[in-house]
Chain A
Amino acid sequence: MNLDRTQLLEAYRRMRRIRSFEERLSDLVTAGKMGGFMHLYLGEEAVAVGVCSHLSDQDIVTSTHRGHGHCIAKGVGIAEMMAELFGRATGICKGKGGSMHIADLDKGMLGANGIVGAGIPLATGAGLSAQLRGSGEVAVAFFGDGATNQGAFHESLNMAANWKLPVLYVVENNGFGEFTPTEFVIPVKDIAVRADSYAMKSLIADGMDFFDVFEKTGEALDHCRSGQGPVLLECKTYRFGGHFVGDPLVYRSKEEAEDWIQNRDPLDGFEQQCVEASLVDASDLRQIDLEVKEELDAAVEAAEAAPMPDPSELTADVYFEEGA
């Protein structure tokens, strides 16, 4: 593995940031301080961070309704994200996007998406753009298992495979689409096999293991960057919480969830592996935990104190206007 101590600590920091950010949101929504449909990334941290640790700000990612993790992994600031989720003028999207549309193009994050599957063709287009511009960049589409039942997924894979586009398709298979178990709606066990019909390379990673995701992503991106075309990477993962904050979770067994949460936590797994191999000290990680907490306290405080958007924002930015 080719990660030095600094890189490892940064990977941990991003996973911890996602975990703490999402836990804080859960509290805020439950306390009625925040509105909207809130889909949390708890439990899936290793996927976003494992993949994005390979990317620069110029590489484009597209995301889903469960998009905070991808933003944080891509380096979007949590203060601006928090302000966005509070609907404040200081939000990263001026309070107009919210959780399902959170984005920061400066960081190569083209957006969360309220439409399941919609990010997949957008990433394909970003891959086409990178190819035709000869930029050497790659595009990454994150999406759930449920999204692979959309026509947009199949149409995109076919196009990307034909044109050998530098696109990495990352399916986060967490076993459920909303409340419906994946096996109810997908007849194959491994979604990765869906790549076969497009003569596309595919890989399967343990989505709870940062190192496995990191390694498989490296292999996939080598393939994309060397002009051999797209890759479908399936990460097997689990959603620790409900589909959204407030989901009563009546449709899945408590034992199943407890097993994943107790025994497969990606942050615990990361710590165990790093400390056992003496790559980092546990005390370094506790220090990061503390710093993330402080960072988050400050983000919430600043967001709550920030002004709401001016009513004139209602009709601003509907169209591009010269000089605006």
Chain B
Amino acid sequence: MSRKLGFGAAINEAIQIAMQTDPTVILMGEDVAGGGKREGDDIDEMGGVLGTTRGLVKSFPDRVLDTPISEMGLMGTGVGAAATGLRPIVELMFMDFLGTSLDPLLNQAAKLRYMLGGKARIPLTVRTVSGAGMQAAAQHSQSLYWITAGIPGLKTVIPSNPADAKGLLLAAIRDDNPVVFCEPKLILRTSGEVPEGDYEVPIGKAQRIREGHDVSLIGFGGTVPVCQKAADKLAREDGIECDVIDLRSLQPLDEEAILGSLEKTGRLVVVDESTPRSSVASDVAALCVDQGFDFLEAPVKRVTAPHAPVPFSRTLEQTYIPSAERVIAAVREQA
């Protein structure tokens, strides 16, 4: 059984299930309750800046914690609690705030198990809103998953639809490793069919969302709908059939799915919302050259943001974000 749910509602449901099924799961972050638990009848809680965690503090008053605006403390506390018997979900309101919270992730969570000779387990989940699309400008719009995906010891996942969001988040919470879970702004306001009940989407497995033999389009998070739109138009106007792959997980990366698709099509375009240097897009391109060279019939194309901060102005921001038009142009260039 499934029903239509928004992206945020799917995430809320996953947290609800995780907290019901495991008393060690806690949720902490800035305004995750947001005025909840206050005396007085007319006081309701906001449940986060985007309302994603609304209602959870009522169900789990002792396990939903509003923290001060102290990301270093928030993240470090999450790591310490994870190392000592809890399974915390830390909400980092926007991924840009990695800047104020990085050490506990980079030097603690990611390395503790290794440094302690395999004795520590860090079942930490970091939920964070990433990417551009709301005119939130340079410090609230970055897609910084390329940083977390590049740190050994961390996993990074990014769903493209509400059903995957629910299943991936449940898998992330129950994973015994620190997992960064990105919620891309480009699709935060979308909705879709979401199965009821408890299920997990495995971390590290990509999903083919459209079958084709001419060119592989590799997307993830907010670029998946962009790839779909491009694929529709290419089929209609050029008779080009795209094999569209949603990576879902950036680390571990489903190399088999990428190479398998490339073997079939011989052409590949990877679409990434982040800046191009040291990016997931560059990683995928390198993989194709390194291990799929014999399959290649055309150069691999990367469609990414430019090497620049995210601008405020609406028209500039729209140009910044990879568009279906740019994907189509890349595919046509290969043909």
Contact = CB atoms under 8 A, between A and B. Distances in A.
Interface of A: 35-37, 84, 87-88, 91, 93, 95-101, 113-118, 146-147, 149-152, 177-181, 184-186, 248, 250-254, 308-309, 311, 313-315, 318
Contacts of A84: 312
Contacts of B139: 100-101, 113-115
A97 B138 contact: yes
A254 B43 CA distance: 10
A279 B19 CA distance: 63
Interface string B27-54: 0001101111010101111100100000
Interface in B117-173: 134-140
Contacts of A91: 313
A151 B103 CA distance: 13
Contacts of B72: 151
Given A35-B134, A98-B313, A308-B316, 17 more contacts: A35-B135, A37-B134, A96-B313, A114-B136, A149-B69, A151-B100, A178-B34, A179-B34, A179-B46, A180-B30, A185-B66, A185-B68, A186-B68, A250-B46, A251-B34, A311-B315, A313-B311
A151 B70 contact: yes
A96 B316 contact: yes
A315 B308 contact: yes
Contact of B312 (A95, A177, A179): A95
Nearest to A91: B313
B236 interface: no
Contacts of A147: 69
A205 to B, nearest CB: 23
A196 B312 CA distance: 40
B137 A251 contact: no
Contact of A36 (B31, B137, B309, B316): B137
B309 A318 contact: yes
B3 interface: no
A146 B67 CA distance: 11
Ranked nearest first, the 6 interchain pairs of A and B with the lowest CB-CB distance are A251-B35, A98-B312, A114-B139, A87-B313, A149-B68, A95-B313
B137 A308 contact: no
Given A36-B137, A178-B49, A186-B68, A308 B315 contact: yes
Contacts, number: 155
B12 to A, nearest CB: 17
Nearest to B138: A101
- Per DSSP, chain B at the interface is loop
A250 B69 contact: no
Interface residues of B, number: 45
Contacts of B40: 253
B247 to A, nearest CB: 26
Nearest to A250: B44
A185 B28 CA distance: 13
A308 B69 CA distance: 35
Nearest to B311: A96
Contacts of B34: 178-180, 251
Nearest to B36: A251
Contacts of A252: 35, 43
B293 interface: no
B306 interface: yes
A311 B309 CA distance: 14
Nearest to A307: B315
B313 A88 contact: yes
B197 interface: no
B70 A150 contact: yes
Interface in B69-96: 69-73, 96
Given A180-B30, A308-B313, A149 B70 contact: yes
B24 interface: no
B316 A97 contact: no
Contacts of B33: 180
Given A37-B140, A180-B35, A180-B66, A87 B315 contact: yes
A100 B140 contact: yes
Contact of B316 (A113, A149, A311): A311
A95 B307 contact: no
Nearest to B140: A114
Contacts of A117: 69, 100
Contacts of B7: none
B306 A97 contact: no
24 contacts: A87-B314, A87-B315, A95-B313, A98-B135, A98-B313, A101-B139, A149-B68, A149-B69, A150-B100, A177-B68, A178-B31, A179-B46, A180-B33, A185-B69, A251-B34, A251-B46, A308-B314, A308-B315, A308-B316, A309-B311, A309-B316, A311-B319, A313-B311, A314-B311
Contacts of A113: 139
Contacts of A118: 100
Q: Which has the most chain B C-beta neighbours within 10 Å: A87, A113, A251?
A: A251
Contacts of B137: 36-37, 97-101, 114
Contacts of B309: 318
A268 to B, nearest CB: 26
Given A115-B100, A251-B46, A315-B306, A181 B35 contact: yes
B219 to A, nearest CB: 22
Contacts of A180: 30-31, 33-35, 66
Given A179-B31, A179-B34, A311-B316, A114 B96 contact: yes
Interface string B313-331: 1111001100000000000
Q: Which has the most chain A C-beta neighbours within 10 Å: B68, B72, B134?
A: B68
Given A149-B69, A151-B70, A318 B100 contact: no
Q: Which has the most chain B C-beta neighbours within 10 Å: A84, A88, A96?
A: A96
B135 A253 contact: no
Contact of B135 (A36, A146, A151, A181): A36
B199 interface: no
Contacts of A37: 134-137, 140
